[in-house]
A and B are shown apart, each in its own frame.
Chain A
Amino acid sequence: MIRRALVVALLIAVAVPLLLAMSQLPPHGSPDTPPNTHVSPYYLEHGAEEGGAENIVTAVILNYRGFDTEGEVTVIFTSMAAVLAVLMLAKPDRAPRVAPTPELPVSVVVRFIVRVLAPFIAMFAIYVILNGHVTPGGGFQGGTILGALVIALSLVLSREDADALLPRKPEHLLQAAAPIAFFLVGMAGLLYWGEYLYFPRDEAQRWIGVLMLTIIEIGIGVGGACVLIRIFRAMRTE
């Protein structure tokens, strides 16, 4: 009882200053607060021309603040490496397959629906990845859809068929596709224009910028999907 009272007292003691601070913040959404008058108007004005993407969000995360996103994709990779380092017990491709877990029969309805929807989900994933620089979406979202598709398929397919969806051979490279795509595009910028992660800004070279953004989007999509699949498989073998 006393313990509970102490917890409540502590929560109130923490909440009061936080709420006081929130109440004095510049009003959210008002046009003349610092977040709306300092850096972001520049993005809105110049993002479409300089940023190389009609979707301003994409211009900010891949171009203006691309270095952050290079870090973020590495965060995603790190979480996968963490899961694998903690869960992986035996070498997957050499370990003798000891008593495969008895597979529960999947309901006919689920199997049918997943199979029918699979090509459409795949197409939607590719659309989201490739159209990220025009409409909301991009590599992160598309990659998640792609990863979820493969996970859904591995629920209804036999283990051999499911494993064939992401072969062991290139998986070590594919799981790192996002940081690698960033690095290659960044180095291309460094070699041609002298700045790391530089995207060309003038009209004539615009298509090169779009191409570079697309390469990164595909990298993020493939890498993200692969990371999800690897985590799923690591947990499945546990």
Chain B
Amino acid sequence: MITWPPLLALLIAIPMTSAVLTPAVARGNGNRAFWWALGVMSVASVIATMLIARVSQEGPFSYVVGGWVAPYGIELHFDEFSAAIAIICLLGLLAIVYSKDYVAHAIAEPRIPYYYTLLLLNLVAMMGFTVTGDLFNLFVFMEILSLSGYALVAVSGERIAEMAAFKYLVMGAVSSLMVLFGIGLLYALTGSLNMADIATRLEGAPSAPLAVAFAVLTLGFMVKAALFPLHIWLPDAHAIAPSPISAVLSGLVVKVGIIGMLRVYQIAYGSGAIDMSGLNLVLMWLGAISIVMGAFFAVFQDDIKMMLAYSTISNIGYIVMGLGLASTYGLIGASVHVFNHALIKATLFFGAGALIYRTGKRTLTDLAGVGRSMPFTVAAISIGAISIVGMPPTAGFLCKWYIALGAMQAGHPFFAFALVFGALFIFIYYIRMVNAFYFQQPKDPAILEVKEAPATMLVPTLILATLCLVMGVLGRVPLSFIEPAVNRLLATVGGG
């Protein structure tokens, strides 16, 4: 095990600097940019593995950049929730591999080096967001993440993509503003930007600014997470972006909102200065409504990527409901679903992207019968589909089970019912999808002639589909990994 302290700063600094060098390395050549991005993400993955090994053995650790002490310098803090960098690295690597053939066909050649630059910046900003212990630093990474996200939605250059990116930009800018305002209020109340330091200094602060600070922070992160009624930017942006980007946006970027909320909860519970039960109730309800509405809208979509985008709203609902329940099982389920939903949704978007790449069609009606010509891709999509419904041997099951248990534990059996109800809806639309791919007569016989997806696209999809199954079998590992962090969080409010 390597415990060299500066490693935590290098996790961010090395990939960030390498990302800005991408255009210089590529010099206009997309292929060179691809290999460089792959190398950078591999290095980041090695560092991430070392850090996760360390946190699993000795618990949370910190590093203050520049050799200062905590409230004066910027503290990076790595706890069990930060282990989300594992899925960022994994999905990042697979998305880069997947992009190799995909972007050559979807994006104009001179833009490709900038595509990889923005993808790398997006991934490293997410890692920075996840490991920082300083509120303003969090905001800086959120800005890199948002800016690169808007551009990646628009990068294909189609008019509709630019419109979707603009809608995303407006909503994203409002949410950034709210988060910044919340940070400003907390600074005015405590004189500090360090999260742990703020938690110790909030005692006795005036109640109205305190409540508003936590409210705007949560609201800002809720927009980023696309919780119902703040989800309106998501379906277009996620459906229209290039498929590897859809997987990253839907699997990872919305989770930034969740991780942000977790950080807000750590401050609030740690300080004991504010009662979060009102907010928790709101989150539970919005979560439940998101589950049902996301699934409801998804049922009526014919465009497969649109369908997947709506299903993200429903899954964010599960996670937020788990957060709002504030019970051990609920929080464990929610934290692990951050990881598992990323795997599942990336499988589905990669699969859908491969179908679109080969057939040029994106609606269920047009894609009927494609299961016969692209058996591996459709098999992977089917595994993703049964995982997202939450069938027992797959990754989706345990988290939802834990969130339902959490609802019982917190004394809200109604929400467990909402969860099961949502799962039924989800079941309907995935059955529609599998039915169309395998059993319907093709509308256009040409669809039976298309070739299976190229290896750079098929292999990442199959790896993810396999992981959906593996995580179902090994589901206990992440659950017990995250448990100490959840217990620590809840110990401060006496819940659990």
Contact B201 A38 (CB under 8 A): yes
CA distance A84 to B191 in the complex (A): 39
A198 touches B67 (CB 8 A): yes
Interface centre among A33, A38, A71, A172 (most CB of B within 10 A): A71
A34 adjacent to chain B (CB < 8 Å): yes
Number of interface residues of A (CB under 8 A): 62
Contacts of B144 in A (CB 8 A): 71, 74-75, 78
Return the chain B residue nearest A193 by Cβ. B67
Contact A196–B73 (Cβ < 8 Å): no
**Which of B109-117, B309-317, B484-492 forms part of the interface with chain A?**
B109-117
Verify A190–B6 contact, CB threshold 8 A: yes
Chain B nearest Cβ from A180, distance in angstroms? 6
- Is there an interface contact between B208 and A72, defined as CB atoms closer than 8 Å? no
Docked pose: A181 CA to B10 CA in angstroms: 15
Which stretch from B154-162, B226-234, B287-295, B471-479 is at the chain A interface?
B154-162
What CA separation (Å) do A83 and B154 show in the bound complex?
10
Is B318 interfacial (CB 8 A cutoff)?
no
Task: Give A77 to B23 CA distance when docked, in angstroms.
Answer: 12
Query: Which of these, B13, B19, B188, B215, contacts A33 with CB under 8 Å?
Result: B188
CB distance from A50 to the nearest CB of B (A): 9
- Residue among A79, A92, A197, A199 with max Cβ neighbours from chain B (10 Å): A197
| New contact pairs (7) apart from A35-B191, A198-B67, CB-CB < 8 Å | A34-B188, A38-B190, A39-B71, A40-B191, A68-B140, A71-B144, A190-B10
**How would residues 1 to 42 of chain B score, 1 for a CB under 8 Å from any chain A CB and 0 otherwise?**
000001001100100110111011001100000000000000
A26: B residues at CB distance < 8 A: 188-189
Pick the interface stretch among A16-24, A106-114, A139-147, A156-164: A16-24
B343, chain A: closest CB distance, angstroms: 27
Contacts of A9 in B (CB 8 A): none
- CB-CB under 8 A from A68, the residues of chain B are 74, 134, 136-137, 140
On chain A, the residues within 8 Å of B121 by CB distance are 74, 77-78, 81
Is there a chain B Cβ closer than 8 Å to A236's Cβ?
no
Tell me, yes or no, whether B45 is within 8 Å of chain A by CB: no
The A interface, classified by DSSP as helix, strand, loop or mixed, is: helix
With contacts A34-B190, A196-B13 known, is A25 near B206, CB below 8 A?
yes
- Bound complex: CA of A35 vs CA of B189, how far in Å? 7
Among A59-67, A96-104, A123-131, the stretch in contact with B = A59-67
The minimal Cβ–Cβ distance linking B180 to chain A, given in whole angstroms, is 13
Task: Check: B209 CB closer than 8 A to any chain A CB.
Answer: yes
Could you tell me if B9 and A25 are in contact, using CB atoms closer than 8 angstroms? Answer: no
Q: Name the A residues within 8 Å of B73 (CB-CB).
A: 64-65, 67
The answer to whether B114 and A25 have CB atoms under 8 Å apart is no
User: Interface size on B (CB < 8 Å)?
Assistant: 65
Complex CA–CA separation, A77 to B16 (angstroms):
11
A-B complex: 4 closest residue pairs judged by Cβ atoms: A38-B191, A82-B151, A34-B191, A71-B140
Partner of A196, one of B65, B111, B136, B165: B65
Which residues, 42 to 88 on B, are CB-close (under 8 Å) to A?
65-68, 71-74
Residue in B148, B151, B208 whose CB lies within 8 Å of A17: B208
Q: Is the CB of A38 within 8 A of B155?
A: no
Given A67-B74, A199-B66, does the pair A17, B212 have CB atoms closer than 8 Å? Answer: yes
Query: B228-254, CB under 8 A of A: which get 1 and which 0?
Result: 000000000000000000000000000
Say yes or no: A180 contacts B157, CB within 8 Å.
no
Is A183 interfacial (CB 8 A cutoff)? yes
- Known: A33-B188, A43-B72, A179-B20. Is A85-B65 also a contact (CB below 8 A)? no
Give which listed residue, B13, B115, B134, B193, contacts A85 with CB less than 8 A. Answer: B115
Interface 0/1 of A213-236, CB less than 8 Å to B: 000000000000000000000000
Contact with B along A47-65 (1 / 0, CB 8 A): 0000000000000000111
Q: Which residues of B contact A92 (CB under 8 A)?
A: 110
A154 adjacent to chain B (CB < 8 Å): no
Complex interface: chain A residues within 8 A of B143 (CB): 71, 75, 78
Q: Is there a chain A Cβ closer than 8 Å to B211's Cβ?
A: yes
- B residues within 8 A CB of A172? 23-24, 27
Judge whether B141 and A86 touch: CB under 8 Å.
no
Query: Considering the chains assembled together, what is the distance between the CA atoms of A21 and B10 in angstroms?
Result: 39
Which residues of A are found within 8 Å of B211, using beta-carbon distances?
Answer: 17, 21
Is the CB–CB distance between B208 and A20 below 8 Å?
A: yes
The answer, yes or no, to whether A105 is at the interface (CB within 8 Å) is: no
Evaluate contact between B187 and A88: CB separation under 8 angstroms: no
B13-A70 in contact (CB<8A): yes
CB distance from A177 to the nearest CB of B (A): 9
The closest CB in chain B to the CB of A78 belongs to B147
Please measure, in the bound complex, the distance between the C-alpha atom of A61 and the C-alpha atom of B120, giving whole angstroms. 25
| B23: A residues at CB distance < 8 A | 81, 172, 175-176
For residue B448, CB closer than 8 A to chain A, the reply is: no
CA distance A75 to B110 in the complex (A): 22
Indicate whether A194 reaches chain B with its CB closer than 8 angstroms.
yes
Q: Is the CB of B111 within 8 A of A197?
A: no
